[in-house]
Structure 1
Amino acid sequence: MSVKSVLGDLQIVVERHSDVLKNYSAIFRVLIGLRVFGFLLSFFSFARNILWLHPYQLASIEVWRIFSAAFCGHNLLDLSWTIWSLHFATNLIRLNNSNEALLKVYAITQALTTLILAIFAYITYVLFDSIKFFYVEPIVGLVPICATVLVLMKQFLPDTIVLTTPIGRLKYTHLPFTAMLVALILALLKLTYFITFLQIAIGIQVSWTYLRFYKPHDTDDIYGDQIFFPSRTQLVFTLIGRICFRSLAKLGVCKRPIRHVDLNSLQSVTVGQINLPQIETSAKDSERRRQKALRELNDRLNKTRQTENLNFGGNWDEDEEDEDDTQAEAQSEIQIPAEIHSPNHNNDSQA
């Protein structure tokens, strides 16, 4: 059986079950089931040797580990966060997104984050001779998807309060940065892998980049949302964001958005006492007057050029004769009527 036929059969299955993908959350429950099954398998050494992913294993083209490692990992905190993200949070953000869109951004973030981490591990191994990320710590779990869920929740419910603390209110818009901070603390306490912190940080960046530039939402910001971070640090992160954005734009990864405004869709909107249809009518009148003035100017220029060509094309004697003839014709044509020439004409005729 060829790869083309397998892909064709897979497409037929997806089309037949498209209602499930569009209207139900069963697909996300399947992901939860696979993650729980991978959690149980991860306690066995043979399963870890077959299913887990270390960056050096990609050199031997063990590509299936990119998929299998996503459902593995024996960290209970990671498993709990994944179940919460795929059940509660996903059902919440499905109100503003379709299942296909969610699955697409989940897959993109998971795959790209894993590949970026593998490249990062190889670079640290080559430059600094560090084996921590290249040989020791595995890339497992659906942590990038969990980070994507936080970004989506931040966009969907930015000002909703999650928790009130003595030092301030924690909102959904603060969750991505909070997750990074908590993961860093847990990694320093040896409760999770340090690579989990990198998965969250890179997953947030990848998902935000995709949602901002490749699936843009309605916003006036060019460099993204500053409220990922505490308000006192926004100035620093805004500067960093501009540098990153311009670098990605020069590399062709991102493009500056081009905004278009359709005036036809705003015809019923009034600004103060001015109605948009009136503005559009006055604009058309101004355009007509401008076009008319341009036509008149062109006619005058053409007449002037024709006159100059005639003056310079003939000889001076003929021009003088033509001028005399023209004056004589003008005088013969302009004659005062007898009735008007003599005010006493009527009186004379009566006499």
Structure 2
Amino acid sequence: MSFFRALNRNLPYIRQQFGALLGNTSASVKTICGIVLFSYCLSYSENAVKIISVTPGLLMPPAFWLWTAFTFCFLEIYFWEVIIDIVTVGLCGKLIEPLWGQMEMMSFFAIVNFGVAVITTIFYLILFAFTSNDELLFEVHIHGLAGYLAGVSVAVKQIMPDLVIVKTPLGKLSNRNVPLTAFFGSLVCWLIGLLDGTYPTMFLSGLIVSWIYLRFYQKHSNGTRGDMADYFNFASFFPNVIQPPVHVISNSIYSILVKIGLCRKVVRKYDIANPTGVMIVPGIEQQDVERRRQIALKALSERLSKYQQDKQPLLPKSTKDLKPDLLSNTPTQPPAPSHVPPATSSSQELKTVIVDDVNNGASTSFMPPPTIL
């Protein structure tokens, strides 16, 4: 009862935040959120869950329930999953849709979810082939936007620069680590009983499908397809320690897919006229150039701040702070050149600025040149 009372008190604030999230978004985003809310009401009916969800034994022949591959993504059983789905779709409308456009965002939504349905079904068919357990075919119901959440995390990794989200005792967590971290988090939640067993499988399927689409097949406004940049390769999702073996495995699989015609071979161009030998990778648009510029500026600012902290000289405020032996060792003024006319007595008084280097204990002197009238 206390939960519902707290919910009623915070209901106006929650409504206000959702209104701000979904405000100024396209009709497609609002439609997806509305269907998710309506499907949650249908989740209390077992027949509706069976009809809307993907059941591995019914998606394949002879039943052939193909429509479930397009409806399963709108059904959630738990209300907190509905909230996460609405927030994610709303953020996509704010962040991704202005860059891609409404049609590309809807295409990404449909491709990722359909691929998740197919790959997850194949996974349970393989499990059935090893275990001969009929429950894996007819008692498992695949539903929800877990695969699309994984796809959004991959898209954010591609669009946004490598920014540090939070600092932990184990290291820094950036948006580059979000997809794999979220997958292992779903595994932990499944082990402790907070999520169904289909959730980690759908999430991993969404990671694979979304990366393949964005890497090789997404069409850009300049006529190119995919994003073949080095920062978006498959090994970049993993920590730096295990990236070399992942590189070997992923490159081997990629070579096989190129030979059978499922993937295209990367054609890299070099600007010979440029003395730096800049490599041009197809599939890079203006937002990618801007992202690289932001990454370079961030790295440069960090290096400059670190250098200033390490090499900042300490200047004495006056000659009273200097040691007597340093003052006695100050070199005298060199004679003025013969071709320079003699100056007044006031202009001949030159000031000597002595800088005491605290790092090596050496003293240097700087003498301004004589005034030429």
Q: TM-score, normalised by structure 2?
A: 0.60
Residue pairs, 1:152-167, within 5 angstroms: 152-167=155-170
1:230 aligns to what? 239
Is 1:137–1:193's contact at 8 Å kept on the other side of the alignment? Answer: no
Is 2:72–2:142's contact at 8 Å kept on the other side of the alignment? Answer: yes
Which of 127, 132, 145 is matched with 1:129 structurally? 132
Residue pairs, 1:270-281, within 5 angstroms: 271=275
CA distance in 2: counterparts of 1:131 and 1:240, whole angstroms: 34
CA distance in 1: counterparts of 2:232 and 2:245, whole angstroms: 13
Which of 170, 190, 193 is matched with 1:190 structurally? 193
User: Counterpart of 2:77 in 1: which secondary structure?
Assistant: coil
Structure 2 residue runs without a partner (length 5+): 1-23, 219-224, 277-373
CA distance in 1: counterparts of 2:203 and 2:252, whole angstroms: 21
User: Counterpart of 1:173 in 2: which secondary structure?
Assistant: coil
Question: Could you give the per-residue CA deviations for residues 291-341 of structure 1, whole angstroms, max 9, x where no partner exists?
Answer: xxxxxxxxxxxxxxxxxxxxxxxxxxxxxxxxxxxxxxxxxxxxxxxxxxx
Compute the displacement of 1:196 (Å).
Answer: 1.1
Compute the displacement of 1:80 (Å).
Answer: 2.8
Kindly provide the amino acid, as one letter, of the partner of residue 252 in structure 2.
I
Is 1:158–1:171's contact at 8 Å kept on the other side of the alignment? Answer: no
Percent identity between the aligned chains?
A: 27
Compute the displacement of 1:132 (Å).
Answer: 4.8
User: Counterpart of 2:165 in 1: which secondary structure?
Assistant: strand
Residue pairs, 1:231-310, within 5 angstroms: 231-260=240-269, 271=275
CA distance in 2: counterparts of 1:250 and 1:128, whole angstroms: 34
The answer as to 2:55 corresponding to 1:46 is no
Compute the displacement of 1:244 (Å).
Answer: 2.2
Compute the displacement of 1:182 (Å).
Answer: 0.7
Structure 1 residue runs without a partner (length 5+): 1-22, 273-351
Kindly provide the amino acid, as one letter, of the partner of residue 183 in structure 1.
S
Aligned residues: CA RMSD:
2.4
Is 1:52–1:69's contact at 8 Å kept on the other side of the alignment? Answer: yes
1:148 aligns to what? 151
Residue pairs, 1:19-38, within 5 angstroms: 24-38=25-39
1:81 aligns to what? 84
CA distance in 2: counterparts of 1:244 and 1:222, whole angstroms: 19
CA distance in 2: counterparts of 1:133 and 1:252, whole angstroms: 33
CA distance in 2: counterparts of 1:241 and 1:235, whole angstroms: 10
CA distance in 2: counterparts of 1:112 and 1:180, whole angstroms: 17
Is 1:70–1:141's contact at 8 Å kept on the other side of the alignment? Answer: yes
Q: TM-score, normalised by structure 1?
A: 0.64
Kindly provide the amino acid, as one letter, of the partner of residue 244 in structure 2.
L
Number of aligned pairs? 245
CA distance in 2: counterparts of 1:131 and 1:243, whole angstroms: 35
Larger Rg: 1
Kindly provide the amino acid, as one letter, of the partner of residue 241 in structure 1.
S
Kindly provide the amino acid, as one letter, of the partner of residue 25 in structure 1.
S
Q: Quick check: which one's helix share is greater?
A: 1
User: Counterpart of 1:170 in 2: which secondary structure?
Assistant: strand
Compute the displacement of 1:223 (Å).
Answer: 8.4
CA distance in 2: counterparts of 1:256 and 1:98, whole angstroms: 27
